[in-house]
Amino acid sequence: MTTQATIPAPRRGVQDAAAHVTAELARCLERGVLPWRAPWDASLAHAMTPGLPLRANGEPYKGANVFLLWTAQLARGYGKRTWLTYRNAETLGAHVRRGEKATPVIYYGQAKPRADAETKTDDDMKAYRFLKLFSVFNAEQCENLPSDFGVELTPAPVDPPEIVRWLERAGAHIRIGGATAHYAPSTDTIHLPPIAAFRSEAHAAATAAHEGIHWVGAESRLDTLKGYFTDKVLRAKEELRAECGAAIIGAMTGLAPDHLEDHAAYVSSWLSILKSEPRAFLSAAAKAQAAVDWLVNRAGHPAEIAKTQAD
């Protein structure tokens, strides 16, 4: 008879969350591994089902948790991308195998201060956001899960030109031509070389997604481009945000997030930022997720739009 795993340690707060994220990402970057690309590395992930990490209820994780779970999935060779809490497993009549290592993920919450002091003002009682860590386990670490649990459908690959049409549906103006891919704030346009200039159509689509995240960062939209053209640190942060956003779009559409040609130059900057600002990646991933959500709210899910047009 298999003995169940011990109950994970108590939940930890925002300092631990930031430190954990920073340490995990720094380890990857120091090895030259970009966690937002790794799940598509055929030499490492040939047995993994592509797509976003999933909660026990089938909903995809968001923000920094996407990259934390991708990193853990790769490091431990899990083929599944569904994750459960200890209690999730118990509720399903299953259990986590003894000795299995939990993966910390971040819980984003909101709360109000306790109303137990007469001196508190209305401002004091405003809701505040908080972060804390909690533990999850991959479905492959569990035993006795129901046979119909965790059906993971691989995202149907979206034809690369559909990514450009999806961005245009969200309101982006895209110009095809020239030798470089970039977003031009002065004209509020995304510029992309012809598809034939790329190594592949998928590479062209991933590049379009990357530039689309920059476009959403314009002042009239999410306003994340301040200092991009004048400050090296702010530029590196924005490139990190665009990398993360494009990776999320890639996971949603079956495309590999492989587009930043000079990423080696940015790795050094990102490592420096992580060491000086422990919450830098949390911020970049959250802003990347906000940009993707903005696009989805404006244009719908890219895979669903492509499917509708095909029908």
- Residue 140's pLDDT band, with cuts at 50, 70 and 90, is very high
Tell me whether residue 1 is in a domain. Answer: no
Tell me which of 110, 143, 176 is where a domain ends. 143
Q: Model confidence over 167-187: pLDDT tens digits?
A: 999 999 999 999 999 999 999
What CA–CA distance (Å, rounded) separates 224 from 241?
Answer: 9
Q: Are residues 129 and 164 in the same domain?
A: no
Tell me whether residue 148 is in a domain. Answer: no
Q: Are residues 137 and 202 in the same domain?
A: no
The tally of domains found in the chain comes to 2
Tell me whether residue 2 is in a domain. Answer: no
Q: Are residues 171 and 129 in the same domain?
A: no
What CA–CA distance (Å, rounded) separates 152 from 56?
Answer: 11
Residues 199-217, mean pLDDT to the nearest whole number: 90
Q: Are residues 127 and 205 in the same domain?
A: no
Q: Are residues 171 and 291 in the same domain?
A: yes
What CA–CA distance (Å, rounded) separates 96 from 75?
Answer: 19
Residue in 38, 105, 106 with CA at minimum distance from that of residue 77: 38
**SS3 of 294-305:** HHHHHHCCHHHH
Residue in 244, 208, 221 with CA at minimum distance from that of residue 298: 221
Q: Are residues 301 and 166 in the same domain?
A: yes
Q: Are residues 295 and 168 in the same domain?
A: yes
Tell me whether residue 153 is in a domain. Answer: no
Tell me whether residue 5 is in a domain. Answer: no
Q: Are residues 20 and 92 in the same domain?
A: yes
What CA–CA distance (Å, rounded) separates 225 from 238?
Answer: 7
Q: Model confidence over 224-281: pLDDT tens digits?
A: 998 998 998 899 899 889 988 988 998 888 775 554 444 555 677 888 888 888 788 8
Q: Are residues 50 and 179 in the same domain?
A: no
What CA–CA distance (Å, rounded) separates 260 from 266?
Answer: 9
Q: Are residues 139 and 261 in the same domain?
A: no
What CA–CA distance (Å, rounded) separates 40 from 37?
Answer: 6
Q: Are residues 184 and 279 in the same domain?
A: yes
Token representation of residue 91:
């509720």
Which range marks the domain in which residue 203 is found? 160-310
Q: Are residues 107 and 225 in the same domain?
A: no
Query: How remote is the C-alpha of 18 from its chain's centroid?
Result: 16
